Amino acid sequence: MWPMIETGAWVLSALFALHMVWDWYKTDSTYSEDVLTSSREGEIEAMTEQHKL
Amino acid sequence: MADTDITSKTMDGMGPHGTKVGLLRVLGPAHVWALGVGIVLVGEYMGWNFAVGKGGAYAALIACWFAGILYSCVAMIDSEVTSTVAAAGGQYTQAKHIVGPLMAFNVGLYLVFAYTMLEAGNAITLGYLISVAADMTGATEALDQRPFIILAIMFLAWLNYRGVLATLTFNLVITAFAFCAIILLFFASAPWSEGTMLAHADLMSGQAALPYGWLGVLAAMHFGLWFYLGIEGTTQAAEEVRSPARSLPFGTLAGIMTLLIAATLTWYICVGYLPWEYLGDGVNGAVAPLFSAAQMTGSDGLILILGFGTLFATLASANGCINDASRAWFSMGRDHYLPQWFGAVHPTYRTPYRAILFLVPIALIFALGAPLDQVITFSILSGLLGYTFMPINVILFRRKWPLDTIKRGYVHPFHPIPALVLLALCSVTYFAVFLGYGTQLIAMVSFYIVVSLWFHFWRYRFVKRADQFTMPWPKPRGY
């Protein structure tokens, strides 16, 4: 039984890795770098909590 | 603020600085609790018992409670500062705003190394646990642990890649199970009953009380950290919680209270079932002491529950570590402390996907190629350097932005006593670590000095100095 589970673990690992790499390629080729790296820290915070006493 | 349109479909409703795709604010206090406790609870299931080997059962208890004070200070300080710095990156972002860029760069690296090494350590442990399960179920050949180590890292990285809500909800379920398993073992042991199998009086008297005297107590401090190492990771969720000012202090402080209870119960149960010589040998003796204690009860149900508790605690820790290391790496990329390429957010899943992917091979290299004790020591030392920064950070924070200048979600009491206590306990722990791992400590400090020089003389020129501060804070007092 355990040799089969070992093989299953190799296969699942490969599937998870391939899915991430495929999605990474798809995302990077669909969206511009400007959009993907547009995040700035604390922007929602800037709108909702203005630290007024 | 006038340019902000929260109904805009192109700007994602996120603010005045041009964010089109940002991290999602979907988490609540329970997720913050699950992140902090999830990273740490594996330390209750294995690792802390090396403290028993260093100084005996009482030394482990003293180390447990002193480390508890250290981490209570960490939790209180973090809760106050993070309730105002509601951005990913945690202590890195705090350092950037409060101390300066060089400290921020170093703290960011401490965080990434502490969590990535801990993730690798957890994956190694998980491979070992699977091999034990194989032995117990009658496997005739030695199991190859590598596919399970790789699967753990790949599955958790995939989960993190796909979204933070599912990731931390998964952590909440498995962490709650692992914590309840400890409580269950305590009640099943019935210490109040005359028929209890706990034998504290026999196992802790005479030579067993303090076998190496007070020096053993000092040496045990190193492993006392294991009970709580990682609770400061709650701050990495700051940009993804719905109400940072409320959720972060609530989740963090509930987390440290949970851990104080879990640590004390773990110590009480294990030293009552197992002789200190066996318990203190985490390699050839009690590798997973709570599981060994469950075996002592003879109950198949408890053995199964504590077995799954150990497995879940390991998974939860690795999962939280991937979450935290990637947020720290992402934040440094976003601020140009590292290439901006790492500061990307996935437009569908809203996760720092490039940071998550980049750290996968690093975790795999350490998980498959480095011994467990070296990996864990690297993690602990990085964490300790981070704790040393915290008292300096909070003292400067209170000085530059006194209580009447920035609204806090939580104000920690008795300032500056927690900061000074934390600094003193860090000094003691450095000495304790130096006794056992002096070479690694010196090597690691040298490494951070070299990368600091690289940052100062080369990398800092790429940092857009005004862009990195977008918090609506007033100017610091005196500037």
Residue A25: partners with Cβ closer than 8 Å, 6 or more residues away: none
Tell me, what's the pLDDT at B268?
Answer: 96
Check CB contact under 8 Å for B22 and A44. yes
> Per the CB < 8 Å rule, is A36 touching B21?
yes
Report the pLDDT value the prediction gives residue B463, as an integer from 0 to 100. Answer: 87
Residue B19 belongs to a domain = no
Per DSSP, B20 falls in state S
Encode burial over B92-130: b for 16+ CB neighbours within 10 A, e otherwise: bbbbbbbbebebbbbbbbbbbbbbbbbbbbbbbbbbbbb
Residue numbers in B near A39 (CB within 8 A): 19, 21-23, 334, 343-345
pLDDT, position B471? 74
- CA distances to B7, B332, B431 from B352, rounded to whole Å, are 24, 12, 37
Res. A42 pLDDT band, cuts 50 70 90? low
Distance from CA of A8 to the nearest CA of B (A): 9
A-B contacts at Cβ under 8 angstroms: 149
B307's tokens? 């077995």
Residues of A in contact with B475 (CB under 8 A): none
Sort residue A51 into left (φ over 0), alpha (ψ -120 to 50) or beta: left
pLDDT score for B17? 54
**In B229-319, beta strands by DSSP E:** none
Higher-scoring residue by pLDDT: A39, B155: B155
Q: Using the predicted structure, report yes or no on whether residue B428 has a pLDDT greater than 60.
A: yes
Q: Helix, strand or coil for residue A38? A: coil
> Is the pLDDT assigned to residue B8 strictly greater than 60?
no
pLDDT for residue B354 is more than 80: yes
Residues in chain A, total: 53
Confidence of residue B255 (pLDDT cuts 50, 70, 90): very high
Q: Over chain B, what is the mean pLDDT? A: 90
* Residue B276 lies in domain: 33-462
Listed range (B7-16, B60-69, B236-245) with the worst mean pLDDT: B7-16
If contacts are CB pairs under 8 Å, which of residues 16-45 in chain A contact chain B?
Answer: 16-17, 19-21, 23-24, 27, 31, 33-45
Count of domains for chain B? 1
pLDDT at site B13: 42
| Cα–Cα distance, B293 to B41 (Å, whole number) | 17
Q: What is the pLDDT of residue A47?
A: 43
The pLDDT, as a whole number, for residue B18 is 60
- Euclidean distance between CA atoms B86 and B94, whole angstroms: 9
Q: Which residue has the higher pLDDT, B85 or B472?
A: B85
Q: Would you give the DSSP letter of residue B286?
A: -
pLDDT higher than 80, residue B436:
no
B418-444: average pLDDT: 87
Whether B15 and A47 lie within 8 Å, measured CB to CB: yes
Out of B18, B353, B354, whose CB is closest to A40?
A: B18
Chain B residue numbers with beta carbons less than 8 Å from the beta carbon of A37 are 334, 340-341, 343-345
Do B471 and A50 make contact, defined as CB atoms within 8 angstroms?
A: no
Lowest-confidence segment of B185-189, B333-337, B374-378, B419-423 by average pLDDT: B374-378
- How far is C-alpha B183 from the chain's CA centre? 22
pLDDT digits (tens, 9 = 90+) for B34-48: 999 999 999 999 889
3-state SS assignment for residue B22: coil
Residues of chain B found within 8 Å of residue A53, distances taken between Cβ atoms: 404, 407
Residue-number span of the structural domain to which A38 is assigned: 1-51
Higher pLDDT, B370 or A48: B370
How does pLDDT run across B275-328, given as a tens digit for each residue? Answer: 999 999 888 888 899 999 999 999 999 999 999 999 999 999 999 999 999 999
Q: What number is the average pLDDT over the span B349-363?
A: 97
What is the spatial distance between Cα B251 and Cα B258, in angstroms, rounded to a whole number? 10
- pLDDT of B331 higher than 90: yes
Count of beta carbons in the 10 Å neighbourhood of residue B236: 31
How far is the C-alpha of B407 from the C-alpha of B22, rounded, in Å? Answer: 24
Q: What is the model's pLDDT at position B181?
A: 97
DSSP B27: B
Q: Terminal CA-to-CA distance of chain B, rounded, Å?
A: 24
For B119, the 3-state DSSP assignment is helix
Of A1, A2, A38, Cβ closest to residue B21: A38
- How distant is the Cα of A3 from the closest Cα of chain B, in angstroms? 8
Contact flag A46-B471 (C-beta cutoff 8 Å): yes
Best of B1, B12, B19, B405 to disrupt the A interface (most A CBs within 10 Å) is: B19
Q: How many domains does chain A have?
A: 1
Partner-chain contact B144 A41, CB within 8 Å: no
Would you say B167 and B330 are in contact if contact means Cβ atoms under 8 Å apart? no
Q: Which tens digits make up the pLDDT trace of B188-228?
A: 999 999 889 999 888 888 888 888 889 899 888 888 888 99
Query: B164 near B24, Cβ under 8 Å?
Result: yes
Give the pLDDT score at B113: 93
pLDDT confidence bin for A49, thresholds 50/70/90: very low
Q: Which of A3-17, A33-47, B304-318 shows the lowest mean pLDDT across its residues? A: A33-47
pLDDT tens by residue, B116-146: 999 999 999 999 899 989 988 888 888 899 9
Considering only the beta carbons, identify the residue of A10, A36, A40 that sits closest to B344. A36
B14 is a domain residue: no
pLDDT of residue B3: 45
Which CATH number characterizes residue B425's domain?
1.20.1740.10
Q: How far is CA B179 from CA A12, B51, B167, B382, in A?
A: 29, 21, 18, 26
- Chain A residues within an 8 Å CB radius of B145: none
Give the minimum alpha-carbon distance from A7 to chain B in angstroms, rounded to a whole number.
8
- The answer to whether residue B169 scores a pLDDT higher than 70 is yes
Q: What is the mean pLDDT of residues B154-179?
A: 97
| CA–CA distance, B337 with B330 (Å, rounded to integer) | 10
Residue of higher predicted confidence among B133 and B13: B133
**A45, pLDDT greater than 50:** no
- The answer to the question of residue B22 being in a domain is no
- ipTM score assigned to the predicted complex: 0.88
pLDDT at B10 over 60: no
Is residue B479 domain-resident? no
Instruction: Tell me which residue of B283, B291, B326, B362 sits closest to B123, measured CA to CA.
Output: B362
pLDDT beyond 70 at A10 = yes
Which among B23, B143, B473 has the least Cβ separation from residue A51?
A: B473
pLDDT at A25 > cutoff 90? yes
Neighboring chain A residues of B1 at a CB cutoff of 8 Å: 46-47
> Which of these, B184, B424, B189, B451, lies nearest to B307 by C-alpha position?
B184
pLDDT at B221 (0 to 100) = 85
Residue range B420-430: mean pLDDT, rounded:
88
Structure tokens belonging to residue A42? 């604390």
